[in-house]
Structure 1
Amino acid sequence: MIGFVAAVLIFLASLGFNIVPIVFLIGLSIALLFMMERRTTVTGGTKSAAVKHAIDFAQIGGQDTAKRELMEALDFLKRREKIQALGIRPLKGILLTGPPGTGKTLMAKAAATYTDSAFVSASGSEFVEMYVGVGAQRVRELFKKARMLAKKEGKDSAIVFIDEIDVVGGRRGAQSHQEYDQTLNQLLTEMDGMQTTQSPFVLVVAATNRVDILDSALLRPGRFDRMIKVDLPDREGRLHILSIQTGNKPLSSDVNLEHVAQETYGFSGAQLESLTNEAAIMALREEKERIEQQHFRDAVDKVLMGEKTGRIPNREELRRVAIHELGHAIISELVRPNSVSHITIAPRGNALGFVRQIPEKDSYLYTIDQLNNQIKVALGGTIAEQLLYGNRSTGAQNDFQQASNLARTEVECGLSRIGIVDADNLPQTILDEEIRFILSEREKETKELLEPFAEGIRELAQSIVQHENMTGDEFRNWLQKQLGMSEDMEFTTAETAAKHAIDDNGESQPIAV
């Protein structure tokens, strides 16, 4: 290209053209390209660019323990003079672990704000290249960019954030790729070469949800010194996140964020953010000026199950689905009162209908009674179909899978009739036999619980087919009436029997009720 341009210029000069303006324009273009390239090198390019970190720890909710532990580790970086007097070695690396969407990247950005450090981020996939040596070269460039950016911003520290580090930090061995090994080796070398007294000091913060596959050399002291668990938020944490996410949204007076936090057990921070956003979209769709409680209810259904599908079952199928879901709901309320939040037969995702339950509290241990009750809830739908139709349908496939998994948990945790077992060495025939026994016993108990409500289910199913949805409070009111009718019927039957009991001599005698 250069030779061609030079030949053209010589040819034009030989013809008598003034090539000075052309040479000036070419030189100016080269200078501009050089400046743009240098700017890209300093800032880290498009992917590994320095990110404006206007995020602080106050904007991250639901991770009080993880934030406290991370801030304690970052204090080594902020107060280097004080810790040097005590002979403490500053940390070189911090590993954030936990499920996706829990805020690991946000915490890394907040760490840069907290320590007033330059911030450079990269993803593990950016180091993966088919050409040998490219990944290792990019690791070297990443640390170089971090130091250059810190000097440019006049800061004495920089944070290098590597997301999804398991891509390049997996265990080395026969199954690993040579190029990945070279990239990991370079990362280990860079971390070993970091001097804790040099300026600017570089701290490596990495995130992964697959800590079990990381190479042991990466986790040893002197590299990633701290491993901080960023777990799913509890109820108080979810409430905090919801309060932050709804801070810029107009809420109706009927919105109860504590109820929403209770309904969203197991949600990550990202899911809660999506929940509030979906609720706002639904309010906009209905042209409402404020977000109402029903919008949050529908948003929870959408985040859990997906958007409503275009499938429209026929009326008989809808009636069967309503009966199925009522079976789940009745058992759920009988074994754990006030647990039903919403019943719907509107198809979402792969489900034709579902019952959403409210967790009583965030639980991490389960007793045998809780597991058995949950099995009965899972079997309630198909038992209700059996009672009213005399047969079952394929809609209970996922329910059976859930019930079977719960029964398997009972066996493996030593909660079944065969006692404590070694799950790895337990013969498959014994395991299958015990699971069938547990499911059979729970099926009998579920049938006994549902039989008194057969006619009530038949009537209520027609109403649900018409209205498509039923709130938990409406269902509980109906269930209380059904329980009252059952008690009255039992009392009347017993009273009549007492009045008309006949003894062996043919005389009327009272009996104990």
Structure 2
Amino acid sequence: MNKQNWLRWTEWAIGIAVPMILFLTFQGINIWPVLIVGAALTALVIAVRMRGGDKGGAGGFGGLKQRRATNKSAIDNIRFEQIGGHERAKRELVEALDFLVKPEQIRQFGIRPLKGILLAGPPGTGKTLMAKAAAHYADAVFVGSSGSEFVEMYVGVGAGRIRDLFKEARQLALKQKKENAVIFIDEIDVIGGKREGGQQKEYDQTLNQLLTEMDGLYGDSSPRILVMAATNRKEMLDSALLRPGRFDRHIEVDLPDKKGRLHIIQLHAQNKPLAADVDLNRIAEETFSFSGAQLESVLNEAAIYAMRAEAKQITMEHMSQAIDKVMLGEKTDREANHEERRRVAIHELGHALVAEAVRPGSVSQVALSPRGKALGYVRHHSQQERYLYTKPYLEEQIMIALGGAVAEEMFYGNRSTGSQGDFDQSLNIVDTMINAGLTELGIVRLKNVTPDALSDATKAIMVELTDRTHTMLETQRTVFMSCLDVLIREENLTGEHFRCLIRDKKHLPV
């Protein structure tokens, strides 16, 4: 509670207490016990407030200095070399930090020092770690906070906390005799969202104060302050915050590619006893689109599985189980009846057979083990990193998603509710194709396309690809039936085992 709110509550208490005392006195009631208890409680509250005042400060940052002092010990051990992947982002960040650590050189060339660096990217990609590594590289104090810490219903509180944040950074730098300070604001979109016209909100005042503080930063001031912020919703930020002179550099911290994933896995595997059969390169392949946080969780969960099994080392089986858990959740205790298990097996084999037909070697595992909300699943691994998608590739992706429903129709003549997620995935891909001009509609603005035309185009694509998927699976009916018996019996098939079954059964007469 800041000073303004404290005075408000004090006035409110006095306004109630005085009339109450007068009323009780008029009624002839002894008020001395009430006064004594009230005075004791007031003294206790004041003592607690005075004791915690240094921690709270005017802006109400209770315990923040203690937390940041704890952060400092962690910062001392975080270097860019310890952050896996993101080589491009790290190079760009180091270049930006050189403006801070080499003031004489930038002054010689007349370069204006950077005031702010924005790290944008999906959750779990290591934006906070990079900010701490930046503070270590620049030999700077690190003051971290989150956008939610500035959100208050009371007018002026958020702005006051912004002022306190910059004040604290300067004081810590002077106390530790540092020339630089890094202020890191995580989830800056909470306070830095686009401002709308009309009535001004408390968030707007907080943002205005942040802009004012950043405008007051100068390269020749001591200590030099660099503001770093992180967000996974850059498009939501106000343009005044993004312009040069405030956040001068926007660094994208994307999901790591295969090389980056391998580097992250190697870093987290250093302190874990790995068996000889563990192939880290294969794990990097099977964790396509995983963030750094998810990869760390995979290694941690694998170690937990090994400990549960009382194994001395982490095996590839433990790693595979950990990947499944991070992707889909823990195994559930649901027990399906025989007919339901058979339908699930047919559904998953439909996905797997189509995937192997259009992208040989892409299936990593076929399983009937219930995980999360899924009764069964097929895990794929990307054979190569892709950033551009062609029409044939997207159509193949839709066919893989439709494989389960088509397989059910082949053997049962109907579908089940288990295809709902597959249809959602297929329709999302169709939307991508329409937006990219890869359909018969051509290059269009969606707002100019009537709902009927959009529906007809979507239906035509889905019907065509469903027919192609059905034809593809019909040619493999014998292979399908042979794999079905094995999957129901063993419940889990590795990608290699599944491909061996396909090769063996293809030579049998239909």
Normalising by the residue count of structure 1, what TM-score does the alignment of the two structures yield?
0.85
Structure 2 contact 52–62 (Cα < 8 Å) conserved: no
Gaps of at least 5 residues in structure 2 are 1-9, 11-42
Deviations 1:344-394 (A, max 9, x none): 011111111111111111111111211121121111111211222222222
Per mean C-alpha deviation after superposition, the further-off stretch among 274-283 and 452-461 is 452-461
- SS in structure 2 at match of 1:161: strand
Normalising by the residue count of structure 2, what TM-score does the alignment of the two structures yield?
0.86
Structure 2 residue identity aligned to 1:442: L
Seen in structure 2, the aligned counterparts of structure 1 residues 214 and 33 have a Cα distance that, compared at 3 Å, is closer
Structure 2 contact 433–439 (Cα < 8 Å) conserved: yes
Confirm whether residue 139 of structure 1 aligns to residue 156 of structure 2. Answer: no
Structure 2 residue identity aligned to 1:397: Q
The equivalent residue for 2:95 is 72
Summarize the alignment of residues 343-354 of structure 1 with structure 2, pairs less than 5 Å apart.
Answer: 343-354=366-377
- SS in structure 1 at match of 2:251: strand
The equivalent residue for 1:441 is 464
Seen in structure 2, the aligned counterparts of structure 1 residues 178 and 415 have a Cα distance that, compared at 3 Å, is closer
Structure 1 contact 388–458 (Cα < 8 Å) conserved: no
Summarize the alignment of residues 288-437 of structure 1 with structure 2, pairs less than 5 Å apart.
Answer: 288-437=311-460
The equivalent residue for 2:496 is 473
Structure 2 residue identity aligned to 1:386: E
The equivalent residue for 1:236 is 259
Structure 2 contact 56–64 (Cα < 8 Å) conserved: no
Measure the CA separation in 1 of the matches of 2:431 and 2:242. 35
The equivalent residue for 2:40 is none
Measure the CA separation in 2 of the matches of 1:368 and 1:171. 36
Structure 1 contact 41–145 (Cα < 8 Å) conserved: no
Deviation at 1:35, TM superposition (A): 8.2
Measure the CA separation in 2 of the matches of 1:376 and 1:313. 27
Summarize the alignment of residues 85-104 of structure 1 with structure 2, pairs less than 5 Å apart.
Answer: 85-104=108-127
- 2:63 pairs with 37, 40, 46, which one? 46
Seen in structure 2, the aligned counterparts of structure 1 residues 420 and 179 have a Cα distance that, compared at 3 Å, is closer
Deviations 1:287-311 (A, max 9, x none): 1111111111111111111111121
Deviation at 1:34, TM superposition (A): 6.7
Structure 1 residue identity aligned to 2:131: A
- 1:84 pairs with 107, 114, 121, which one? 107
Deviation at 1:449, TM superposition (A): 1.3
Deviation at 1:45, TM superposition (A): 4.8
Deviation at 1:38, TM superposition (A): 4.1
Measure the CA separation in 1 of the matches of 2:495 and 2:199. 53
Per mean C-alpha deviation after superposition, the further-off stretch among 417-426 and 251-260 is 417-426
Deviation at 1:96, TM superposition (A): 0.8
Structure 2 contact 401–426 (Cα < 8 Å) conserved: yes
Structure 2 contact 483–502 (Cα < 8 Å) conserved: no
- 1:224 pairs with 233, 241, 247, which one? 247
Structure 2 contact 119–231 (Cα < 8 Å) conserved: yes
Confirm whether residue 183 of structure 1 aligns to residue 200 of structure 2. Answer: no
Deviation at 1:36, TM superposition (A): 7.0
Deviations 1:256-277 (A, max 9, x none): 1111111111111111111111
Deviation at 1:485, TM superposition (A): 2.2
Identity over aligned residues, as a percent? Answer: 53
Structure 2 residue identity aligned to 1:255: V
Deviation at 1:166, TM superposition (A): 0.9
Seen in structure 2, the aligned counterparts of structure 1 residues 317 and 86 have a Cα distance that, compared at 3 Å, is same
Deviation at 1:397, TM superposition (A): 1.3
Measure the CA separation in 1 of the matches of 2:319 and 2:308. 14
Instruction: Give the number of aligned pairs.
Output: 460
Deviation at 1:39, TM superposition (A): 6.7
- SS in structure 1 at match of 2:321: helix
The equivalent residue for 2:220 is 197
Confirm whether residue 280 of structure 1 aligns to residue 297 of structure 2. Answer: no
Deviations 1:99-144 (A, max 9, x none): 1111110011001100111111111111111111111111111111
Per mean C-alpha deviation after superposition, the further-off stretch among 118-127 and 173-182 is 173-182
Confirm whether residue 257 of structure 1 aligns to residue 274 of structure 2. Answer: no
Deviations 1:403-458 (A, max 9, x none): 22223333332222343333331122112112211111112211111113324423
Measure the CA separation in 1 of the matches of 2:155 and 2:406. 61
Measure the CA separation in 1 of the matches of 2:152 and 2:248. 28
- SS in structure 2 at match of 1:332: helix
Seen in structure 2, the aligned counterparts of structure 1 residues 196 and 302 have a Cα distance that, compared at 3 Å, is same
Deviation at 1:64, TM superposition (A): 0.5
Per mean C-alpha deviation after superposition, the further-off stretch among 65-74 and 413-422 is 413-422
Seen in structure 2, the aligned counterparts of structure 1 residues 449 and 176 have a Cα distance that, compared at 3 Å, is farther
Measure the CA separation in 2 of the matches of 1:128 and 1:419. 46
CA RMSD of aligned residues (A): 2.3
Structure 1 contact 263–359 (Cα < 8 Å) conserved: yes
Give 1 or 2 for the bigger CA radius of gyration: 1
Structure 2 contact 482–505 (Cα < 8 Å) conserved: no
Deviations 1:204-243 (A, max 9, x none): 1111111111111111221111111111111100000000
Deviations 1:48-91 (A, max 9, x none): 64221121101111110111001000001101012112211111
Deviations 1:315-338 (A, max 9, x none): 110011001111111111011100
Seen in structure 2, the aligned counterparts of structure 1 residues 324 and 57 have a Cα distance that, compared at 3 Å, is same
Deviation at 1:33, TM superposition (A): 9.1
Structure 2 contact 119–250 (Cα < 8 Å) conserved: yes
- SS in structure 1 at match of 2:488: helix
The equivalent residue for 1:12 is none
- SS in structure 2 at match of 1:77: helix
Measure the CA separation in 2 of the matches of 1:174 and 1:276. 49
- 1:247 pairs with 270, 287, 296, which one? 270
Seen in structure 2, the aligned counterparts of structure 1 residues 428 and 296 have a Cα distance that, compared at 3 Å, is same
Summarize the alignment of residues 136-175 of structure 1 with structure 2, pairs less than 5 Å apart.
Answer: 136-174=159-197
Measure the CA separation in 2 of the matches of 1:251 and 1:348. 25
